[in-house]
Amino acid sequence: MATPETGLDAEFRRRVIDTMTTVLARLLDRPEPVTEDMRLMEELGLSSTFALELLLELEDQLLILIDVELMDQDQMKTVGDLATFVAGNSRPS
């Protein structure tokens, strides 16, 4: 269902979050859970390269193509920010 505020499909965004947190924990070899409010750089130490790997995994697992060229990395502070971007800027592969 799309939320009226953002036009985003909330259910899809939830799936993005779930997949993202699982992949992030594995990529970063982190035993503690990753949550939506965590800051990508400061808390998780996510580099640009890891971020692209994360997006590739999301594409593979969710069968989508993400419009990476539209991504302003400086606006992606938290896991939730990135999930919102992916949910709003992707299409079925």
Regarding 25 and contact with another protein (CB under 8 A), the answer is no
Query: According to CB under 8 A, which one of 2, 10, 52, 63 is a site residue for another protein?
Result: 52
Query: According to CB under 8 A, which one of 23, 24, 44, 55 is a site residue for another protein?
Result: 55
Residues 74-93 that bind another protein (CB under 8 A): 74
Regarding 32 and contact with another protein (CB under 8 A), the answer is no
Query: Residues of 18-38 as b/e, b for ≥16 C-beta within 10 angstroms?
Result: ebbbebbeebeeeeeebebeb
Beta strands in 1-93 (DSSP E): 64-66, 90-92
- Residue closer to another protein by CB (options 9, 53) is 53
Whole-Å CA distances, 36 to 18, 60, 92, 93 = 9, 21, 23, 25
- Interface residues with another protein (CB under 8 A) are 41, 45, 47-49, 52-53, 55-56, 59, 68-74
